């Protein structure tokens, strides 16, 4: 999505917030399994979209940690001395949970609240372990592709909900990270809910989240039993609310030539080409105050 306005505290506006769907980066039907191929393609496409340097510049990985079972690590420090400083272009990456987290959340009913129950408390802990495991893997994949990514958990950032609606989201640290040239990587997380004296699962990142209870569903859509984030109905409703702020939303299949073209800015500049597959949500009226 494109941000036409300036975010408070930023000297340059955010160029793009990329939400990676959980189903795109994980194998949704296999518990806690990452779709390595898609993730690699997505990381590479993002790196190209963010990079302002020449395409021929050598990609220098920023993940210098060992992989489980491996004794060696990859760290080409020397290469960085000749490197033109990578401009991260004010990107933010957000990702869903896919086959991480949902199992733990639905098993314990953590999204229904009730932290006084042992099972719900355990489910909260288990859910956070699962989604932060995924976040770390995404951060590592992006860093390996040369993106200066830093993981930021909404729970640790102090985001709170009130009856499942986002009550407060402290963006100050996200802004500071962007200003310092990093790409914050946020994710669907379990966060505390002030009203239910309980917990709720934030399945997606959005400034205003519609209340499930008051949503008028015009069509019946089947949501997988383990999907505690509301499925596509919620996602489309959120996209519409973002568009109302004057921020265009592009929905496109990840790791395809279509996502690459959307990231490159080609779709934004002119009319939508006939051979491009995707959905663009724009607001036709006057943008709401933001």
Q: Binding site: what residues are annotated?
A: 97-98, 102
User: Per the annotation, where are the binding residues for ATP?
Assistant: 98
In the complex with a copy of itself, the residue whose CB is nearer, 118 or 289, is: 118
Q: Measured from the CB of residue 231, what is the shortest distance to a copy of itself in angstroms?
A: 23
Instruction: Enter the DSSP assignment of 195.
Output: T
Short-list 136, 203, 207, 193, CA closest to 160: 193
Please compute Rg for the chain using Cα positions: 19
Q: Measured from the CB of residue 38, what is the shortest distance to a copy of itself in angstroms?
A: 19
Q: Measured from the CB of residue 32, what is the shortest distance to a copy of itself in angstroms?
A: 5
In the complex with a copy of itself, the residue whose CB is nearer, 78 or 270, is: 78
Q: How far apart are CA 287 and CA 290, in angstroms?
A: 8
In the complex with a copy of itself, the residue whose CB is nearer, 187 or 258, is: 187
Structure tokens at 125: 């802990």
Q: How far apart are CA 107 and CA 127, in angstroms?
A: 10
In the complex with a copy of itself, the residue whose CB is nearer, 68 or 213, is: 68
User: Per the annotation, where are the binding residues for substrate?
Assistant: 97, 102
213: CB partners within 8 A, 6+ apart = none
Instruction: Enter the DSSP assignment of 288.
Output: P
Q: How many other CB atoms sit within 10 Å of the CB of residue 256? A: 17
Residues that bind a copy of itself (CB under 8 A): 31-32, 60, 62-66, 68-69, 73, 75, 77, 80-81, 83-86, 100, 103-104, 107-108, 115-119, 121-122, 124-126, 128-130, 132-133, 136, 139-140, 143, 148-153, 155-158, 160, 170, 172-173, 176-177, 180-182, 192, 199
């Amino acid at each position: 999505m494109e941000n036409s306005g300036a975010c408070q505290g930023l000297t340059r506006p955010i160029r793009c917030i990329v939400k990676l769907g959980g189903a795109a980066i994980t194998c949704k039907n296999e518990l806690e399994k990452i779709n390595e191929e898609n993730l690699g393609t997505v990381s590479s496409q993002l790196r190209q979209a963010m990079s302002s340097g020449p395409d021929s510049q050598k990609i220098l990985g920023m993940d210098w940690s060992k992989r489980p079972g491996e004794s060696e690590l990859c760290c080409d420090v020397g290469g960085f001395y000749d490197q033109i400083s990578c401009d991260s272009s004010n990107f933010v990456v957000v990702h869903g949970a896919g086959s991480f987290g949902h199992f733990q959340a639905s098993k314990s009913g953590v999204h229904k609240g009730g932290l006084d129950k042992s099972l719900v408390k355990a489910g909260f802990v288990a859910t956070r372990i699962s989604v932060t495991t995924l976040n770390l893997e995404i951060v590592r994949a992006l860093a390996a592709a040369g993106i200066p990514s830093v993981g930021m958990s909404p729970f640790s950032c102090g985001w709170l909900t009130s009856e499942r609606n986002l009550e407060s989201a402290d963006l100050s640290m996200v802004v500071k990270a962007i200003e310092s040239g990093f790409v914050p990587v946020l994710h669907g997380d379990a966060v505390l809910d002030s009203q239910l004296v309980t917990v709720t699962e934030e399945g997606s990142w959005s400034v205003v989240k519609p209340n499930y209870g008051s949503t008028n569903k015009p069509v019946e859509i089947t949501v997988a039993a383990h999907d505690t984030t509301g499925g596509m109905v919620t996602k489309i409703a959120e996209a519409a609310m973002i568009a109302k702020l004057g921020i265009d939303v592009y929905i496109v299949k990840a790791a395809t030539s279509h996502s690459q073209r959307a990231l490159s800015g080609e779709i934004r500049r002119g009319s939508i080409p006939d051979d491009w597959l995707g959905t663009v949500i724009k607001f036709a009226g006057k943008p709401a105050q933001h």
